[in-house]
Amino acid sequence: MDTEFTNALREGDPVVGNWLSIGHPKVAEINGIVGFDFVLVDTEHTATSLETVEDLVRALEYGSEPRPIVRVGGNDPVEIKRVLDIGVDGVMVPMVETAEEAEAVVAAMRYPPDGIRGVATGRAAGYGSTFEEYVSRANDELLTIVQIETETAVENAAGIAAVDGVDAMFVGPSDLSTSLGVMGDWESETLLDAMSRVVEAGEEAGTAVGSLAVSAADVDRWMGLGFDFLIVGTDTRYLIRGGNELKGAFEDAAGGD
């Protein structure tokens, strides 16, 4: 766990990350070369296994940066526990819609008496060699991030942001825009208003708020709304964008006179 990164995100300092969907350590290593502050390993919408997550975390740790955060498949305390035992810096939980659901996430992230996380001497605790030190720090230093992805979640954003132990809210623009009936329309006033409301809820509670930007225009738009941190692009989109750009350049050159 990296307290410098954790504190920066909690305090609303600008931190930037990348989205990792490809379950290969080499892709994780490349993120370290770029110099992202953190990488989100997605297991909700990928086939990435727990064992693969562990290998990705090892690859990220090799270069010390970026810090690993894992998005789990849902608000499941067993899944959250197993990911934490790998030794990540934080967990993102999708589709949190109420303060009560956020409280359940916090409980799953913490050891008793503050929560319900089971105790084990796994990789996070040095396989037992640093067990007491890890347990003494984990409740305070692990990042708890909940996703705001529905109209209901926006309505309850103030209550979610105020839950003790929620370090950040993360707006999922694809799901939120779909929930609002404007799927994929990043310039929709309906979407922008909803995102602004989440940002305002975070500001009032002192809770950081982030989102995903898949273009330079998105970065400007979301930062203009007041977001504290962003994930800028995804590994798969980088491949598609780069491939299309150079393929197009070749086709233009080959077809020219």
**16-27: pLDDT as tens digits:** 999 999 999 999
Please identify every residue annotated as catalytic: 45
pLDDT at 65: 74
Overall residue count recorded for the chain in this entry: 257
CA 16 to centroid of chain Cα atoms: 10
Q: DSSP strand E in 113-193: where? A: 143-148, 168-171
> pLDDT tens for residues 212-254?
999 999 999 999 999 999 999 999 999 999 999 999 999 999 9
Nearest partner of 225 among 186, 254, 181, judged by Cα: 186
pTM: 0.94
Q: Of 83, 140, 77, 131, which is closest to residue 107 (Cα–Cα)?
A: 77
pLDDT of residue 63: 66
What the block records as the tokens of 43 is 């297991």
DSSP class of residue 22? Answer: S
CA 119 vs. chain centroid, Å, equals 24
Task: Give strand pairing partners of 42.
Answer: 71
At 1 the pLDDT is: 67
Low-confidence stretches of the chain (pLDDT < 70) are 1, 63-64, 256-257
Name the residue type at position 126: G
User: What is the widest separation between alpha-carbon atoms in the chain?
Assistant: 74
* Integer angstrom CA distances of residue 96 from 17, 202, 255: 21, 15, 51
Q: What is the pLDDT of residue 231?
A: 97
Question: What tokens does 217 get?
Answer: 């225009």
3-255 has which fold? TIM Barrel (3.20.20)
Cα–Cα distance for residue pair 173/164, rounded to 1 Å: 25
- 109 with 84: CB under 8 angstroms? yes
